[in-house]
Amino acid sequence: MRSIFHGRRAALLSLLFALLAGAQTVLAQDTADLLPVTEAYKLNADASSPGVLKLHWTIAPDYYLYRGRMKFKGANGVTLGEAQLPDGEKHHDEYLGDVETYHHGVDATLPYTVAAGTTRLKLSVQYQGCHEVDPKICYPPHTEQLDLPLPTNLGNTTPPASNNPLGAALGQLGSRTNSATAGMDSAPLPAEQAFRFEALAQNPHQLLLRWTMPKGYYLYRDQTSLKLKDANGLSLTPAWPAGTAHHDEHYGDVTVYFDQVELPVTVNGDLAGRKQLTLEASFQGCQDGGLCYPLMTRAASVDLGSGVAAAGQTIETAPELPPASAGEGPLQVSLIAALLLALGGGLVLNLMPCVLPVLSIKAVSVLESGENQATARRHALFYTAGVLVSFAALGLGILALRSAGHALGWGTQLQQPLVVGALALVMLAVGLSMSGVVQFGAALGNTGASLANRSGPAGDFFTGVLAVVVASPCTAPFMGSALAYAFAAPMLSALLVFLALGIGLALPFLLIGFVPALARLLPRPGRWMETLKQVLAFPMYLTAAWLVWVLANQRGADAVGLVLVAMVLLAMTLWWFERSRSRGVISKTLVAILAIATLVPMYLLAHVPAPSSVAASEDGVIAYSPEKLAELRAAGTPVFVDMTADWCVTCKANEHTVLNTQAFRDLLQRTGAVYMKGDWTDVNPTISAFLQQYHSPGVPLYVVFPKNGGPGKQLSTVLTSSLVEQALTEAAR
């Protein structure tokens, strides 16, 4: 954990000027009445004397300057000598030790020499001071750039000797940095350079805010507040990404962000034709091991139509997210169209590889139901109920969490290693049941363990639940537009879309259950079904193996070892459960002990940290970053952006059939395009922002950017070679 006090307490305290001990709320005081730094300390420079620059600061009442924080640096052929500074008022600070300060005003002289041909006296002057009454706030170091005319007939001058050797020695001593600050890597930057802020509109109801900090600076999450000016009836819901845990002496346990943070913000309410919003952001941050800045407030006017980034005053603009193609907003389709797309997407989902393992369970019960029409209807209805309840719960859960400020999308539950591990255990348990290792009775039916039973309402219902759970890593054709609509639509309309997806997924079994002609086409039940059930166990084992592979990419070898131990313990639990049916209490107690033991590695799995890694580019593939994409587009290079995840089965199918082929590599070479890939296997706010920019509910997302700088073209979630070839050929023109 990073800490501004760990190992460098003295360095930090030398810069936390005028903070009272234990005053937790000092940095949050109202600074509205403080003078700007250039008015609190007015600097005048006099270069009329050859070889000597005279400086004078006029210090406002209740303000003071630190003698040891004055620094001078020449530029463009100007070489500076040691500054001559008077003694300051001596003061013993509880944290800083013995310091010297100036009140009201101070004069300094600065000897200099210039190189031949120099015509201007250019230098930087840095100083720092504080406000000594409430609010007791210290300014960050402020630097002024001086550009003065040299005295006439000034050649290559040499600095005059001091008339007061003792004063010169004291001046030299005072110009050195205080020992408490000697360990700092560098002086703090001005606030405008340390915390660059900008805002852009991804769509009228979705903003993206970005703070960019140099290396070694961080932003507090909980000291940040957002508001809209002159926007009655509108509110903001931020979706903060995961940050870095940090213990702060004043604020306690907090979350901070280093380098850069991108914050999706939802605008709630009726925009009523608004074209522009004015956003005010108040925030606070620190230099790691250095100064903590006072509360800063920046305002940005956000154009809701153009999607162009708006930066606060004096802020340099960071690379923008690329604009989406016109007409790609999430509500460009009607509710009826979204429902039809959802129905078609759910129907196609039955053919996706992620759902096939679970459908193998259902196939056994469907074949059995061929002997009785009433049984077939019961199977279909309870299976459909499980699907619809699961889709409704999943959809409402995602929508509720998104409205609460969490950046979630379709399939993001598989970004959580514990969920992936638990699903691997479920698949193993189902496979063992289908293989005959264990037979679950009615006593466990209500827990969902009877998924492998060939009959019974509970088995049918929970088969539908499991079908939805394992379907979430897949995105079938038509689903993308429907889900994008659902994530932006009102709650009732969104719920209808998720239910339509469920109806589409359950439709084949509903038809078999309620259309006798279709049911008569099924083969007759027989002893061969037991063999079929055992054969269909192997897709469940393969699904469990795939989930372990996903876990390996998320948390590494330690996580794989833990889930494998849990699988062995689970297999042992189920084996002994079957043997203990006719035995006494001791045998059944051992089952409970083994079941509890299975949970231990799962508990440890939840605490395995993500491996520290740098995004590595594969052969011929560039890791996605907004900056690199902006650089390539500025150079006129067509770019194929692939947003993927290891748990996304549709993504892997597209890679196998299209993207990882020699034909695709030849196409990239022929068109001069760059293949850029973003990995969403784990939580990644940068990729989440890109997905939201294109109204994509999840991965895969494929966008092709043309060489002429036009908007990106979003491709279908299921790729074909001809589709990709056409898109890249057009982008290269």
Write down the pLDDT at residue 159.
42
The helix (run of H) or strand (run of E) holding residue 277 is strand 276-283
Asked if residue 172 has pLDDT above 60, the reply is no
Q: Which residues contact 104 (CB under 8 A, 6 or more apart)?
A: 58, 59, 61
Write down the pLDDT at residue 57.
92
Asked if residue 163 has pLDDT above 60, the reply is no
pLDDT digits (tens, 9 = 90+) for 487-498: 666 778 888 888
Peptide bond preceding 539: is omega within 30 degrees of 0, i.e. cis? no
Asked if residue 225 has pLDDT above 80, the reply is yes
CA proximity to 715, closest of 664, 646, 647: 664
* DSSP H helices in 435-478: 457-471
Write down the pLDDT at residue 408.
54
Asked if residue 544 has pLDDT above 80, the reply is yes
Q: Round to whole Å and give the CA distance between 686 and 634.
A: 20
CA proximity to 706, closest of 644, 642, 659, 639: 639
Write down the pLDDT at residue 321.
46
Helix axes 356-368, 528-535, angle to 10 degrees: 170
Domains in the chain (CATH in brackets) are 31-181 (2.60.40.1250), 191-311 (2.60.40.1250), 335-605 (no CATH), 621-731 (3.40.30.10)
Neighbours of 27 (CB within 10 A): 22
Write down the pLDDT at residue 18.
40
Q: Round to whole Å and give the CA distance between 263 and 207.
A: 8
CA proximity to 259, closest of 321, 214, 296, 292: 214
Q: Where are the beta strands (DSSP E) in 600-726?
A: 621-623, 639-644, 674-679, 701-705, 713-714
Mean pLDDT of 534-555: 84
Q: Round to whole Å and give the CA distance between 259 and 288.
A: 11
- Token pair, residue 541, equals 């084992």
pLDDT digits (tens, 9 = 90+) for 603-649: 888 888 766 544 445 667 898 888 888 888 888 899 999 999 888 87
Q: Where are the beta strands (DSSP E) in 532-601?
A: none
Banded model confidence at residue 168, pLDDT cuts 50, 70, 90: very low
- Please tell me the total number of residues recorded for the chain in this structure: 733
The rounded radius of gyration (Å) of the Cα atoms in the chain is 33
Write down the pLDDT at residue 300.
83
Residue whose entry in the numeric block shows the structure tokens 């973003």 = 678
Q: Which residues contact 252 (CB under 8 A, 6 or more apart)?
A: none
Q: Round to whole Å and give the CA distance between 281 and 252.
A: 23
Banded model confidence at residue 445, pLDDT cuts 50, 70, 90: very low
Residue whose entry in the numeric block shows the structure tokens 């166990």 = 537
Q: What is the dihedral of CA 257, 261, 264, 268, to 10 degrees?
A: 60
pLDDT digits (tens, 9 = 90+) for 656-693: 899 999 999 999 999 999 999 998 887 777 787 788 77
Mean pLDDT of 318-334: 47
* DSSP H helices in 27-84: 37-40
DSSP string, 482-542: HHHHHHHS-HHHHHHHHHHHHHHHHHHHHHHHH-HHHHTTSPPP-THHHHHHHHTHHHHHH
- Token pair, residue 418, equals 């514990």
Q: Any idea what DSSP says for residue 19? A: P
Residue whose entry in the numeric block shows the structure tokens 């600050």 = 181
Full-model pTM: 0.44
Write down the pLDDT at residue 206.
83
Write down the pLDDT at residue 674.
93
Write down the pLDDT at residue 427.
82
Q: Round to whole Å and give the CA distance between 251 and 221.
A: 11
Q: Where are the beta strands (DSSP E) in 5-69?
A: 41-46, 52-59, 63-66
Q: Which residues contact 232 (CB under 8 A, 6 or more apart)?
A: none
- Which of residues 321 and 644 earns the better pLDDT score? 644
Write down the pLDDT at residue 228.
87
Write down the pLDDT at residue 611.
63
Lowest-pLDDT choice from 66-75, 249-258, 440-449, 618-627: 440-449
Contact 502, 392 (CB under 8 A): yes
The helix (run of H) or strand (run of E) holding residue 107 is strand 105-114
Q: What percent of the chain has pLDDT over 90?
A: 12
Q: Round to whole Å and give the CA distance between 38 and 143.
A: 10
Write down the pLDDT at residue 551.
86
Q: Round to whole Å and give the CA distance between 287 and 655.
A: 43
Write down the pLDDT at residue 542.
85
pLDDT digits (tens, 9 = 90+) for 565-594: 999 999 999 888 888 877 778 888 888 899
Write down the pLDDT at residue 271.
79
Mean pLDDT of 136-150: 84
Banded model confidence at residue 113, pLDDT cuts 50, 70, 90: confident
Write down the pLDDT at residue 378.
83
pLDDT digits (tens, 9 = 90+) for 28-83: 344 556 788 888 899 988 888 777 889 999 999 989 898 888 999 988 888 888 88
- Token pair, residue 543, equals 């699904």
Residue 380 CA, distance from chain mean position: 41
CA proximity to 194, closest of 286, 128, 279: 286
Q: What percent of the chain has pLDDT over 70?
A: 72
DSSP string, 173-197: HHHSPPGGGTT-SSPPPPHHHHSEE
Write down the pLDDT at residue 566.
92
Contact 102, 59 (CB under 8 A): yes
Write down the pLDDT at residue 444.
35
Neighbours of 495 (CB within 10 A): 17
Residue 665 CA, distance from chain mean position: 30
Write down the pLDDT at residue 535.
81
Write down the pLDDT at residue 327.
40
Write down the pLDDT at residue 360.
59
- Token pair, residue 105, equals 């005003």
Write down the pLDDT at residue 179.
32
Pairing mode of beta strands 621-623, 674-679 = parallel
CA atoms within 13 A on the CB side of 66: 31
3-class DSSP state of 65: strand
- Which of residues 311 and 563 earns the better pLDDT score? 563
pLDDT digits (tens, 9 = 90+) for 126-135: 998 888 888 7
Neighbours of 277 (CB within 10 A): 23
Mean pLDDT of 460-464: 81
Q: Any idea what DSSP says for residue 415? A: G
Write down the pLDDT at residue 474.
65
Pairing mode of beta strands 142-149, 701-705 = unpaired
* Among 160-169, 247-256, 312-321, the range of highest mean pLDDT: 247-256
- Which of residues 145 and 134 earns the better pLDDT score? 145
pLDDT digits (tens, 9 = 90+) for 180-210: 333 334 556 777 778 888 888 877 788 889 8
- Token pair, residue 365, equals 């019960």
Write down the pLDDT at residue 5.
38
Contact 167, 177 (CB under 8 A): no
Write down the pLDDT at residue 669.
92
- Which of residues 181 and 220 earns the better pLDDT score? 220
Q: Round to whole Å and give the CA distance between 566 and 695.
A: 38
DSSP string, 108-160: EEEEEEE-TT--EEEEEEEE-EEE-SSS--BPPPEEEEEEEEPPTT--S--PP
3-class DSSP state of 9: helix
Q: What angle do CA 216, 218, 221 make, to 5 degrees?
A: 165
Contact 17, 141 (CB under 8 A): no
Write down the pLDDT at residue 569.
93
Write down the pLDDT at residue 370.
52
Asked if residue 264 has pLDDT above 50, the reply is yes
pLDDT digits (tens, 9 = 90+) for 372-417: 677 778 888 888 898 899 888 877 776 676 555 444 556 666 777 8
Mean pLDDT of 221-238: 85
Contact 648, 700 (CB under 8 A): yes
Q: Round to whole Å and give the CA distance between 62 and 129.
A: 11
